Each structure stands twice: as structure tokens, then as C-alpha cells.
Structure 1
Amino acid sequence: MPLSAAPQLVIFDCDGVLVDSEPITNQILVDNLARYGLQVSLADCMTLFVGGTMRGVETRARELGADLPKDWIDEIYGDIYARLRQGLPSVRGIEAVLDRLEAADIPYCVASNGSEEKMEITLGATGLARRFEGSRFSAHTLGVAKPDPRLFLIAAEKMGGDAAHAAVIEDSPTGAKAAARAHIPCFGYAEHDDGARLAAEGAYVFHDMADLPALLRLP
């Protein structure tokens, strides 16, 4: 077991950990990039882009041959936000995890490379928004994005916790790398694959949210 005692703070990623948005947003990305000459499968899109920033997606897509317009980021966010507003599910089992954290009086927050607007949409659509009022940290707002460890370190500081006694829940290698650089234990949620890329970044891989309370040593 990677923890000897329950953490004093749990930092969640948003997409793919709290809300089941990754397949939806990546399919939109696949369809959009195809219009600009770049054909990628959904699986390849998730491997290439999950966990990064949209600016990073734009740069990589251009390198791969996509002829993107100057306002592409505004366009893709418009497409994604419109779809997400139609609704999406929360990650299966996450509500029970949050219930256990609250029962144990352990604070938690979300730290995401996504924007405040996107988190408001996705957390709102799943009914999780109320649980993260005042505890959302966006790379867009703070000016630091994973794999930079400062996103997690700032989140821990603002939550009044010690990063040395926190835990991070991630689903992307980029986020796991940020946690490793911040010297925070990372639990890598791999619902759709074996989690090898998460493990390569030092994450302790698990495949079912029902297993997380025990991994976190929650009472």
C-alpha cells in the first residue's frame, strides 16, 4: 500500500476522475480535427491529448499536419462546451468516495488543466458543483498547468494543507507526472486500460472507484 495513514487533503483531477467527460470531449476533438485534415482514432486522440492543455493540443495537431485556423481554440471550446451542456455522467462511484472523505473530515479539492468555465459546466451537469464550491483550481486562472507541479502545490497551500500529507487522484500521465514532481502520492484511475502509462509516471494504479477509500486508508 502506498500510504501508511489517511491523507490530510485529497486533490482530484476533474475530467475522467470526477466527471466522465473524456470520451465525449475527445470524440468532438476527433471530428473537429478531421475537418482540418488530421485523421486520428478516438483511442489515439486520448493517448495523444488527454491531460494536456488545449494550447498544447493545438501545437501538437499542427505538428501532425492539421491546418487549424487562428481562432481554433475558441472554436473547439465552443463545440465542447455546447455538447457538455447537454449533460454527462459523473464517474461511477465518485459520490461514495466524496461521502467517505466528508465522513472522515478530510478536505478535498479539484485541480484541473481545464478552465473555470469548463469545470462549472461539467461539475454542474453532474450535480457535483456544490461539493467543490470554493475548492476549484484551474490552470487557466493560476497560470501554471500540469505537468508543472505548482498547480498541485498552490491548491494544497490555498486549501490550508501540507502537500507532504496530501494525495492526488489522476487519470492522465501528465497529471501523474505533476504529482511526482510535487512529491505527492498519486493514485492513477485507469477505467479504460491497464494504466501502464500512469504507472510509468509513478502512480499507484487502480481500476474501480470503489477501491479508492481503502487505498486512501479512510476509516
Structure 2
Amino acid sequence: MRPAAVLFDCDGVIVDSEPLTDRIIAANLTRNGLPMEPDLVRALFRGGTMLGVAEAARTHGARIHDGWVDDVYAEIFEALAAGTPLIEGIIGVFDALDAAGIPFAVGSNGPHRKMAVTLGQHPALHLRLQGRIFSREDVARPKPAPDLYLHAANRLRAEPARCVVIEDSATGARAALDAGMACMGYAPHDDGAALAAVGARPFHRMTDLPALLGL
């Protein structure tokens, strides 16, 4: 059965923002007394919130001041504004969904301002998604709680059980599954075992997604 709606995470699924973001967080934490490599940032914090990064880093001895989240976001936004490419094949996925008459939306643990920076660099896409970009700022609880995807489904007037979520993190996959939605796990760099472990169905090329959705 084809989905009633498809809900996409943003970072790592629509925009290729995560490598740069991970490098900035790693450098910042290292400067603040917690030596960190980008690969470890990705392993520890992928799919979470910056507040969660701050709390965990403080627990492990980093010097995290009260305004740290705003400060590190300022670093990230400046770097992302210099150039954030789209994930290869994502526009073709959106084209296939439009051709099939299936609505889609974005649900991100990042703030709206971050998506304005990354998606805003691609004006045609940003306009295409207008009114369908949702952030953890819009709900009571971020992922892994199901609130964000339930909110997006409600806004699209789609039954949660008939929605499919596209995620690249176990955190996001848990949010989707707890919302009663199927989850496809985008794993371009590994076998997707971490996604499969929480119940997502891994796939490795975005160009394969339309066929996997039955389009």
C-alpha cells in the first residue's frame, strides 16, 4: 500500500549538513576542555538536540556556559550559510511524490532558523516546502518522542499508521515508530545496522526510495 504521506528528517536526509556540523561541534568541545573528533560527535549525538549535546558534554567535564547553545549555533549557521548541498537524489524523490499526489513534509530536531539557513539556500525547494517545515520548536518534546511526526501528520491530515518517515538516525527512527509510522532508514555510508536495530528498514541510495515507496 502506498503511503498517505511521507515525512522527512532534514539534516542528513534532505541537506548534507551533518559533516560540517559535526566538525564545528567537535572543535568547540575540544576548545572547551572535552577533546572530541567529528566521528565521535556523530556517534554520540546524531539525531539529538543541541541542548542534549550541552548537557552530556557538561556531564563529561566540558566548560559549557549558559549561552553555549546559542553560541555554537551561531558558529554552525555561519558555516552552513557558506554552502550546504542537497542530498543527491532528494529532488527526484519529491518529484515522484508530487507526481503520485502524495503529500510530504519535514520534521527536524533542529530549530527553524537552521532550516532557513540550509533549505533557504535552495529557493525553489524552500518555496516548495512552504508550510510543511516543522521543528522541535513546534512541539512539547523533541525526538525520540513521537510528538514532531504526529504533529506533521496532523498538519497533512494523514493517518499516522499510513505515513512513512525517512530518517538517518536511530533517535529519529524511534520517534517515527513510537508514532505508529513505518520508517525507512537512509544509510549511505554503512550497512544501516543501527537503524535496523530500532525497527527501521535501511536503504542506501536516495534514488532507490521512490521504488521502495511503491511509486
Matched, 1:88 2:84: yes
Matched, 1:132 2:124: no
Helix, strand or coil for the counterpart of 1:97? helix
- Picking from 107, 112, 137, the partner of 1:111 is 107
Helix, strand or coil for the counterpart of 2:19? helix
For the aligned residue pairs, the C-alpha RMSD in angstroms reads: 0.9
Deviation at 1:145, TM superposition (A): 0.6
Q: Aligned partners of 2:190 and 2:41: how far apart in 1? A: 14
With normalisation by structure 2, the TM-score equals 0.97
Match of 1:70 in 2: 66
Q: Aligned partners of 2:145 and 2:57: how far apart in 1? A: 21
Match of 1:30 in 2: 26
Q: Aligned partners of 1:118 and 1:92: how far apart in 2? A: 20
- One-letter amino acid of the structure 1 residue matched with residue 75 of structure 2: D
Q: After superposition, where does 1:147-166 map in structure 2 within 5 Å? A: 147-166=144-163
Q: Aligned partners of 2:3 and 2:143: how far apart in 1? A: 21
- One-letter amino acid of the structure 1 residue matched with residue 191 of structure 2: D
Match of 1:213 in 2: 210
Q: Aligned partners of 1:44 and 1:194: how far apart in 2? A: 18
Match of 2:10 in 1: 14
Asked whether the equivalents of residues 187 and 203 of structure 1 are also in contact (C-alpha less than 8 Å), the reply is: yes
Q: Aligned partners of 2:197 and 2:24: how far apart in 1? A: 28
- Picking from 190, 195, 198, the partner of 1:201 is 198
Deviation at 1:39, TM superposition (A): 1.1
Q: Aligned partners of 1:77 and 1:141: how far apart in 2? A: 18
With normalisation by structure 1, the TM-score equals 0.95
Q: Aligned partners of 1:63 and 1:206: how far apart in 2? A: 35
- One-letter amino acid of the structure 2 residue matched with residue 134 of structure 1: G
Deviation at 1:143, TM superposition (A): 2.8
Asked whether the equivalents of residues 165 and 183 of structure 2 are also in contact (C-alpha less than 8 Å), the reply is: yes
Runs of 4+ in 1 over 6 A off after TM superposition: none
Asked whether the equivalents of residues 170 and 176 of structure 1 are also in contact (C-alpha less than 8 Å), the reply is: yes
Asked whether the equivalents of residues 87 and 126 of structure 1 are also in contact (C-alpha less than 8 Å), the reply is: no
Match of 1:46 in 2: 42
Asked whether the equivalents of residues 30 and 41 of structure 1 are also in contact (C-alpha less than 8 Å), the reply is: yes
Deviations 1:93-152 (A, max 9, x none): 000000000000100000011111111111112342112100011101323210001111
Q: Aligned partners of 1:126 and 1:38: how far apart in 2? A: 35
- Identical aligned pairs, as a percentage? 49
Deviation at 1:183, TM superposition (A): 1.4
Asked whether the equivalents of residues 113 and 145 of structure 1 are also in contact (C-alpha less than 8 Å), the reply is: yes
Deviation at 1:163, TM superposition (A): 0.8
Asked whether the equivalents of residues 198 and 205 of structure 1 are also in contact (C-alpha less than 8 Å), the reply is: yes
Match of 1:167 in 2: 164
Helix, strand or coil for the counterpart of 1:48? helix
Match of 1:61 in 2: 57
Helix, strand or coil for the counterpart of 1:102? helix
Aligned residue pair count: 214
Helix, strand or coil for the counterpart of 1:111? strand
Deviation at 1:85, TM superposition (A): 1.0
